[in-house]
Amino acid sequence: MLIVASVLVSLTACSNGEASDTTENVQTAKEYVVNVKVETLIPAAITDKIMLPGETEAMYDVALAAEQDGLIEWVGVTEGDSVAANGHIVRIDLEALKAAKDRADANLTMKKHQLNRRRKLYKSNVLSREELEQAETEFTVAETNLREAEVKYEHGIVVSPVSGVVNKVNVDPGEYVSKGNPIANIVNVDQIKITFSVPEMDVRFLSKGQIAPVVFDAYPNEKWSGVVDFVAWKADPATRTFPVRIIVKNADGRIRPGMIARASFVRRALSDIVSVPLFSVIDKGGERIAFIEKDGVAEARTVTLGVIDGDRVQIIAGLNVGEKLIVAGQREVEDGVKVDVR
């Protein structure tokens, strides 16, 4: 009996010891405090944007072609040269063209004299009506021939219809060209066109004249200002997106056709919303969690995210204006843990 009593006393003592240790652990857990920083949530404004890639094009990209057959007797530009509007590019066999024009002019003068003489003869009843009409027809044909010769002579000098830079020269002096053969390519890059493919859900937010900031992969640390020039009324049947074109000034010529651009289009401006730093929201098991501080205790909130603008995000549900959001120490706290706001 004494042995049994001793065992019972021993077990009781052990049991009391374990209970004491557990109580101390619970008290320690309750006294665990995390230092945090908070941000009081206030009504905020945020901009809903969409970033889209596009490809640059020259404002004008002109392919010059020969407008008649002939021998290239002079090329006035080389690739890379700047040209003014109506600047001479090449000359095609002007001497032969001038001779043809002079012959047509002389023929017209002769036909005019013949017509005047035959009109007098007709009035004197010496010439028939049919002979007079024949002379009138010959005069009209001579006029047409002269106009054609003059046009050919004018086209003997190929000019650029726009100012720009010579991107390509396709001919050399002494080369024979036929009508339609490529002569040169002139590009004007004083302004740059950029075309973007905009999804149907976003095109309704865009309009002509809207400002769009643009960055280029070639100049990642610089930003240009573009203006929406055209919003398509019809979708591209292949992509089901709407082409949108913007214009960017390019006075220094650094932006070249074919570069990749990225434009930020404003869809809408939101006001009186709850906005928090992106880093304050934690992903836990597929849920978005944010912590607020309330009466010295961390409280977990499941939040619904909205528009992201830079380093901040709209909170559609889960947080309210006036609450204190934990923005430092949020990864060290759990729901119900005591916090000390520093």
210-267: per-residue pLDDT in tens? 999 999 999 999 999 999 999 999 999 999 999 999 999 999 999 999 999 999 998 8
Q: Are 317 and 303 in contact (CB under 8 A)?
A: yes
Q: Are 127 and 121 in contact (CB under 8 A)?
A: yes
**DSSP one-letter code for 234:** S
Average pLDDT over residues 132-150: 84
Fold adopted by 94-155: Helix Hairpins (1.10.287)
- Residue 96 is predicted with a pLDDT of 73
The token duo for 329 is: 């120490």
Q: 113 exposed, middle or buried (CB, 10 Å; 0-12, 13-18, 19+)?
A: exposed
Please report, as a single letter, which amino acid is at residue 111: K
The sheet with strand 176-177 has its strands ordered as 157-159, 88-92, 70-75, 176-177
pLDDT digits (tens, 9 = 90+) for 19-58: 444 444 444 445 689 999 999 999 999 888 899 999 999 9
* Segment holding 77, helix H or strand E: none
Could you give the percent of the chain with pLDDT greater than 70?
Answer: 90
50-58+189-268 and 94-155 have identical folds: no
Judge whether residue 77 has pLDDT over 90.
yes
Fold adopted by 34-47+271-341: 2.40.420
pLDDT digits (tens, 9 = 90+) for 86-129: 899 998 876 777 777 778 888 888 988 988 888 888 888 888 88
Q: Could you tell me which residue, 8 or 139, shows the higher pLDDT?
A: 139
Secondary structure (3-state) at 138: helix
Q: Alpha carbon of 136 to those of 106, 110, 147, 148: distances in Å?
A: 17, 12, 17, 19
**DSSP one-letter code for 280:** G
**To which residue do tokens 């049994």 refer?**
4
| Low-confidence winner among 101-105, 114-118, 156-160, 315-319 (lowest mean pLDDT) | 101-105
Rounded to 5 degrees, φ, ψ at 95 are -60, -45
Q: Are 41 and 261 in contact (CB under 8 A)?
A: no
- Residue 11 is predicted with a pLDDT of 34
Q: In the chain, what are the domain boundaries?
A: 34-47+271-341, 50-58+189-268, 94-155
**Correct CATH for 50-58+189-268 of 3.40.50.10800, 3.30.450.20, 2.40.30.170, 1.10.3470.10:** 2.40.30.170
Q: Are 158 and 67 in contact (CB under 8 A)?
A: yes
